[in-house]
Amino acid sequence: MKSSKYFFVTFNTILIAITVYFSGCISSPDTTTGKLAFQQKDFEKAEKELSIGVQTDKDDMEAWYMLGVSRVEIGKFEEAKMPFEKSKNAFGLEQTNYWILKYNDGIKQFNEGLNSRKTKDSLGAVRSFGKALNSFRASTIVIPDSITSYQMMGDSYAYLGQSDSALQVYTSILDRSKSKDDAINIAKLMYQTGIKARQADNYLGALEIFKKIVTLNYLPKDNQYYETSLFNIGYCNYALAEQAVKDGKDFKPYLNESLKTLEPLSLVLKDKELLGATYEIMINCYDALGQMDKKDEIIKKKQDLQK
């Protein structure tokens, strides 16, 4: 995650988040009923009436805005996109303030989730992160270009243990955010999935995941997930070579692929434990390939490392 501190967005006007204007123009009965329901915060009824009303009052931007808010409030997130798109030029300020309302509510719930985790209240944490997720989802509908809303959605999914959903969100924003932190979050989630695949002896599946990690844009080359993913590429290829031997197939291409990754990695690794494990696989690869001079060279390096 990016940080343990998550801050609220400040209103840049004194206007309330949902401002209602009655322009004085004659509206259809459905639109009028929907607006009154909206004022009374009966969003179910408002959504139903306004959905009908805007078919007649197509240029009533207030009705479109209210319809968008009503749909968000009753959880019809995807259906709220079009009304907000239609009303954004006329009601841009109101949409911004509504976004702030939903985003800040998400931050409040997210911070409560963090506090629950600190006190070991796992059920409370899940409940709070779930509420935060809904608020951040809502904020992405109101203003789709808000990268910070997507980042917080990703964090909420991650804290809820929904790694696949978190990964999907992070990946969708990486090219826009160009953020090192986002790349690291993605790498972490992918790495966890890759390790699970490797532990289940699904070496081909794990190999594909680790290869994707090391090609992530904006992931620092000295990051632990980058380096350990390279190691695991070598490890998985070596494991595939062992499987090929058992199946009576050609194992050498896998060993060469393993060395292709591990040889340059061994020149830059600073973590002694990881370097030692890298040397061990390289020694086994050279031995199986009959490259005894290189094997002896790495054995010496490993002995020196242990001094």
The one-letter amino acid code at 291 reads Q
- State both tokens at 25: 């123009």
Structural domain includes residue 291? no
Structural domain includes residue 302? no
> What is the domain range of residue 10?
1-177
pLDDT of the residue at 280: 96
Structural domain includes residue 286? no
pLDDT of the residue at 7: 65
Structural domain includes residue 199? no
Is the sign of the CA dihedral 255, 258, 260, 265 positive or negative? negative
Structural domain includes residue 159? yes
Structural domain includes residue 256? no
pLDDT of the residue at 167: 85
Structural domain includes residue 161? yes
Structural domain includes residue 104? yes
Q: In order along the chain (307 residues), what is the average pLDDT of each group of 10 residues?
A: 55 40 64 94 96 93 96 95 94 93 95 93 95 95 89 90 87 85 90 92 93 93 94 97 96 97 95 95 97 96 89
Q: How many domains in the chain? A: 1
pLDDT of the residue at 2: 46
